[in-house]
Amino acid sequence: MSIFLCSSPAWATWTIVTSTGNSTGSATGAVISATKTLVNVGDLLVVAASYATNSTTNLTLDSALGNSLTSIGQKNWDTIASPTSGTNIWYGKITTTGSEAITIHGNAAASFRVIYFLEYSGNSSGTSLDKSDATASDSDANPLNGTAIVTTQNGELVVVVGNQTAGTGTLTAGTGYTLQLTNGNGATVLEDQTQASAGSITGSFANSSTGQLSVVYTASFFAPPPPPTQQSGVFIR
């Protein structure tokens, strides 16, 4: 007689290995950069940036180590108000570790610029974007909500960037999210969560000052592979 006990696989939890950010405040310029040591080849690298300016801003990215990052797509306020602002998210697999300087370039000088980047462990594929959405508003509310995305896999990493141009209020983490990075006045923030079960999810922030120009940018990434099923058994002869 043989008796075997099997444990069901569980999705691994995404873990931030390292993160950093930089904000220029009111200093006008066209570039902004941040530097941090990347640890593990194969980890997921996520970069977010926001610019506020009086002309359309096309943001581009450089990696000092040559890590290849893909732009999800820039969201501007061009169609609803002026001044305009550009917010974008890039992602990719870390191929080179060490001291990494990520630089964001704008084609026009901006009086307010923010960059964040984070290394997440456990994702061997790197280029694993599932869903994304960017929602702009010319008169935001509390809570400040984006548009729902519908994830396709359990345990996805959901990253949300919130940006207000006025800077008179403070954005903090929405329900179920953890605030990971914020600039000095809380006008541009980044939150995340691991979504246990696939399905609809909305990026959301608590917002202390309503009626402002805002963008909520949400992106989800496929989960790390689950550990193999463990088996144990007893054989009786």
162 or 6: which carries more pLDDT confidence?
A: 162
Per DSSP, the three-state class of 61 is strand
Question: Residue range 43-67: average pLDDT?
Answer: 86
Q: How many structural domains comprise the chain?
A: 1
For residue 210, the model assigns a pLDDT of 82
**pLDDT given for residue 91 in this prediction:** 95
Report the sign of the C-alpha dihedral through residues 180, 183, 94, 89, in that order. Answer: positive
Confidence tier at 8 by pLDDT (50, 70, 90): very low
Average pLDDT of the chain, as a whole number = 83
Beta-carbon contacts of 234 under 8 Å, excluding residues fewer than 6 positions away, are: 2, 3
**Token pair of 28 as six digits:** 């006008």
Could you tell me which residues come within 8 angstroms of residue 175 by beta carbon, excluding any fewer than 6 positions away? 143, 204
Residue-wise pLDDT tens digits, 69-101: 999 988 876 554 455 677 899 999 999 999 999
CB 214 within 8 A of CB 195: no
Mean pLDDT, residues 181-195 taken together: 89
Cα 68 to its chain centre, rounded Å, is: 16
Show the domain range for 213.
Answer: 2-235
Q: Using only the alpha carbons of the chain, give its radius of gyration.
A: 20
Predicted TM-score of the model (pTM): 0.87
Tell me if 92 sits within 8 A of 70, measured CB to CB: yes
Among 62-66, 74-78, 213-217, 228-232, which is the least confidently predicted range?
228-232
